[in-house]
Each structure stands twice: as C-alpha cells, then as structure tokens.
Structure 1
Amino acid sequence: MTGDRWEFDAIGTRWRVDTAHPLSAGARGAVADLVDAFDRDWSRFRDDSLVSALARGAGTVVAPPDTAAMLDLYAALDEATAGAVNPLVGGALARRGYDARYGFVDRGAEPAPPDWRTLLAWTTDRLLLTEPATIDVGAVGKGRLVDRVLDVVTAATDGEAVVDASGDVAVRGRTDRIGLEHPFDPTRAVGVWEVRDAALCASAVNRRAWGEGLHHVLDARTGHPIRTIAATWAVAGSAMIADAVATALFFDGGAAFAHDRGVPWVRMTSDGRLEWSPDCGAELFV
C-alpha cells in the first residue's frame, strides 16, 4: 500500500496504521481518545483505571462499552478450556512478576478464583465484582481494541487500511502477506499467511517473558506458565475472535473452540513441531 503510515505507542505496545491517504488530525485524535478510554477502563497497569479501582474495592460500576462483548467471550473461553482461561487471572500474573510495576519478581503460583462467574457479573449497563480481584482481559482485549481502531480509521478514509498492534493485525480493503515469526528466532518465519478483510492474531511465550520459564500465558487453574505450546496464530473476521482463538490454542479444547467458530489456525509446540487446522490457508515452511 502506497500512502500514509502512522506509528505510536499505546497499551504497552507499538502500533502501526497504514492507510491509502493521510489520516486527518481529527481522525488521529479520535483514535487517541478511543485508545486512552479503553486503557483507562481495562488496564491493570494504571492506578487510575477502572479495573484497578475494582481490585482495591469491589462493587458495581457503569460498564464500559466493551464489557459484554469481551466478558461473554471469556465465558465461552472458560467453558472451552475447562477453566484454563479466566478473566480474574490478573492476581496470578502479578504474583508471578507481571505486575503493575513490572517488578518481574516471582512470588509463586496461585490459581485464579475458579468460581469467577459467581464473583463477576455484567450486563450491557453494569459491571459487578463482589469481592476485590484483578480483572485481566489480555486474552481478547488487544484484539477488541484493534477492531475498534480499524472502524475509526476506515470511517475516516476510503476504507483501505491495516492496523497492526505488534502481532495483532487487521486488514480491510486489501490483501497483506504476514510473516509468522518463529518464537525461538525472531529473524526467521515459520510461514506466511495472506489476509484480506480479516484479522490475524498471534501469541507466543517469547513475548512478555521474564525469569526462568516465566511468561504471560498462565493456566488460570494452577497459576503456572504453559510449557507445551510456544506460539499460536489464528485468522478470523474480527481481531477479537482471532485473539481469543490464539489464546485458547495454548490449552486443551482450543482447537475445538476454533473449529466451532470456523477459525483456521497454526501453532508451534515447545519442541518445535508445527500443527495446523485442516482449513488453514497459510504457506508453512515445513
């Protein structure tokens, strides 16, 4: 795509927006406002965020706009993975060192509350937490924000755009060939995937990793990092769904979760083997 490229940092990662024509100052401002509002609602790394306030003192609050879409999807992920994916895993992540201060000091494993559905309730209007706990929407949140940024960007242009949030990529109005980065060697790719009017999301244990074998993909039932899968990739009509599938694929039940939603995928096991769904359209270097 010849045209305009806009790069910025947000929610702890690097973003790139490619459009056929330069975005206006108003459109860029709308994106910045959207990202800041999402971060202010859902970031457990900000003392002034809504989820940080709920972690300090439970209660009922006005639900942010993304509440039902994300937490409904979490309920489906929880069921598909037999409880391995849980939106109250934030406390378990903090104990392993991935805390609001990026302390990276491991204080041991602690499961997330297995009864999270009795602690956390939501409607389109209200979000209720019955006792203090740390909500973490990392399994779907970045994908959700990519979708919303793409909507703002394409509404302000001729509809041709790419939004790339460091591994979560949404493409509209064009075809992109996206490399699948090798989780053990970022100078290599395990394949390429052509994506058009869809989103590709990836997750890997080499991203947000620290200490001996510690990384951000925890089994909520145990508080321990996943050891069997090294990286996942999924392509779906929305980045939020692709993000959810990429997370689910680290666990038993992930492939069935993807199949039920018609989402093709690739994953690499920790011993370097590639696995993929029957409908996968990626060109894999195997």
Structure 2
Amino acid sequence: MSVSTLASHRWEFDAIGTAWRVDSAAPLTGDDRAAVSSVVDGFDREWSRFRPDSLVRQIAAGGSVAAPPDAAAMLGLYDALDRATGGSVNPLVGDALARRGYDAAYSLLDRGAEPAPGDWRELVQAADGSLTLRGPAIIDVGAIGKGRLVDLVLGVLRSRVEGWLVVDASGDLAVDGVAQRIALEHPYDARRAIGVWTLAAGALCASATNRRAWGDGLHHVLDARTGHPVREYAATWAVAADAMTADAVATALFFEGGPRFAAARGAAWVRMRTDGPVEWSPHCEAELFV
C-alpha cells in the first residue's frame, strides 16, 4: 500500500518487525522522536510474543502481571471480534501460529494445525489492575495490535507537533489534517493496485495473505477454530475513525461476519477474494479499478 504526501518532513524507522514512516508539516525534534520511541518500546515490552522480556511472555505459563492501560479495551475488542466471526478471531492464537512456524525464532517450520482455546475468556482476563492468564497459553494481539500502536504514535505526536501528520506502519496508517491518495496494493503483484482510497482524516488498515507468508500456503491469518490459514480472501482494507478499529475490521473481513462487524463500527471496506473478485461495503469511497 503506497501513500502520496505533500512536501513534508519525513522520519523513517523500524519497529515491531516492520518499517514505519512519519510525515509531518513541521520537523520532528529529537525529543519528539524519543517520545515516539518510548511509546513503541513500551507497547512492545507489554504485548510482543516475540520478546522474552515482554509481559505476555512472562505469563505464558500462567500467572498475573500489572495490566497495561489498554488491556481491558483490547480484550473487549477481541470479545466483539470473536462473537462476530463465530470464534475465528481469538487472542490466544499465539500457540497455533507458533506451531505453523510463525514463532519467536521465526523457524517457519510447520508442526501442524492446532486450534486456539475456545474458552479464552475464562483463561485470560484484565480486571482489578491485573492481566491474568489461568493456564499456559500465548497471547497474540496481531489482529488489532499494530493499529493500536499507530493510534498511540499519532497521539503522542499530536500532543507535541503542530500541523498535519501521517503515521504509516507498513499497511496500517492514520491521517490527520491532510488528504492522502492511498494505493490498494494488489496482493498478487506489488507493482499494481486494485484501486485508490483518498483519506483526509481517520485510519486505513490493510491485511493480506501474501505478507508474512511462508511454506506451502502458510501465512499469518489463521482461523482460530482450526489453526489453518484462511483461504477464501487474499486481502482486506478498512477505513475507520481510529487505526485499532480499522485493524480489527481488516482482520474480521477474512471471515463470515466481517461485514456486519464493520457496519456496527461505521467502517467502510474493500476485500479481494483469492480467485480474483473484489467486494466492497455500501458507501465505500475508494476508487476501484474493477
């Protein structure tokens, strides 16, 4: 997904395993960049299943830690995703991803499918200031986490920097105060786009099965009920008021119930099936080349 910007000040960096770019009307100071780095590192130390020192790894065998401030909101959104998709989206899918090769060591060795725990609400809870896991499991917030971090980065910059801002985390981006023409990358040919979406405020998040893919048809979007990769849809795009919501919608769109989940949150969307056809929501403002 490519973005067009006005003449701007640009800062590029790597974080949480992907490339980030911040475009701004005003230059970022060293303190501005340090503030962003602190927010990113803090989120990573809380939610990364790849870092041995993260909170979710500390309780992977079961236990309790002080809850991150957004734990209840994130688990609440997972609850809504789970209900909308019939259990296909689950915050305890980490072990299922690791078994398929998407583990902390990036082994890419497939050890077979394993469903995520269906009773995850009984196993993981955020209450009374604690994040508790009642039994061994790996929390994975990949369905909404990058969008949440985009919102956090935009928030810290908005409090420090005057003028328009664009925060782009390789497919999940937030725009504030400037119109952007965003190309919707074809999932089977990165040189092509299936359309363009113009956005002046809010967030656009994308997900595709050609990203973080390996082996024979393996990729990062698993159906938590089975532990198998999804096959019906190849790519999704969602626009919402904030990036965490857009990220959640982009994930939900790989499953039945995704369009209803999007409508309930006022999100517009586009999705492409693996056999080629493109679908879109009512009132979608994307310019589609179909």
**Shared fold, TM over 0.5:** yes
The residue identity in structure 1 corresponding to 2:97 is L
Q: Distance in 2 between matches of 1:227 and 1:63?
A: 35
Q: Is the 8 A contact 2:150 2:172 kept in 1?
A: yes
Q: Does 1:156 align with 2:160?
A: yes
Query: Secondary structure of 1:9's match?
Result: strand
Identity of aligned residues (%): 66
Q: Is the 8 A contact 2:147 2:245 kept in 1?
A: yes
Q: Pick one of 42, 48, 53 that aligns with 2:53.
A: 48
Query: Secondary structure of 2:97's match?
Result: helix
- What value does the CA root-mean-square deviation take over the aligned residues? 0.8
Q: Distance in 1 between matches of 2:81 and 2:8?
A: 38
Q: Does 1:84 align with 2:51?
A: no
Correspondences of 1:155-174 after superposition (within 5 Å): 155-174=159-178
Correspondences of 1:126-145 after superposition (within 5 Å): 126-145=130-149
The residue identity in structure 2 corresponding to 1:257 is F
Q: Is the 8 A contact 1:68 1:123 kept in 2?
A: yes
Tell me the residue number matched to 1:197: 201
Structure 2 gap segments, 5+ residues each: 1-5
The residue identity in structure 2 corresponding to 1:21 is A
Q: Distance in 1 between matches of 2:194 and 2:156?
A: 32
Q: Distance in 2 between matches of 1:121 and 1:256?
A: 26
Q: Is the 8 A contact 2:26 2:163 kept in 1?
A: no
Q: Distance in 1 between matches of 2:225 and 2:137?
A: 15
Task: State the Cα distance separating 1:180 from its structure 2 match.
Answer: 0.2
The residue identity in structure 1 corresponding to 2:52 is D
Correspondences of 1:50-129 after superposition (within 5 Å): 50-55=55-60, 57-123=61-127, 125-129=129-133
Structure 1 gap segments, 5+ residues each: none
Provide closer, same or farther for how the CA distance between residues 278 and 25 of structure 1 changes in structure 2, counting only shifts above 3 A: same
Q: Distance in 2 between matches of 1:199 and 1:215?
A: 24
Query: Secondary structure of 1:46's match?
Result: coil
Correspondences of 1:203-242 after superposition (within 5 Å): 203-242=207-246
Deviation digits for residues 226-268 of structure 1, max 9, x if unmatched? 0000000000000000000000000000000001111110000
Q: Distance in 2 between matches of 1:220 and 1:159?
A: 42
Q: Does 1:248 align with 2:290?
A: no
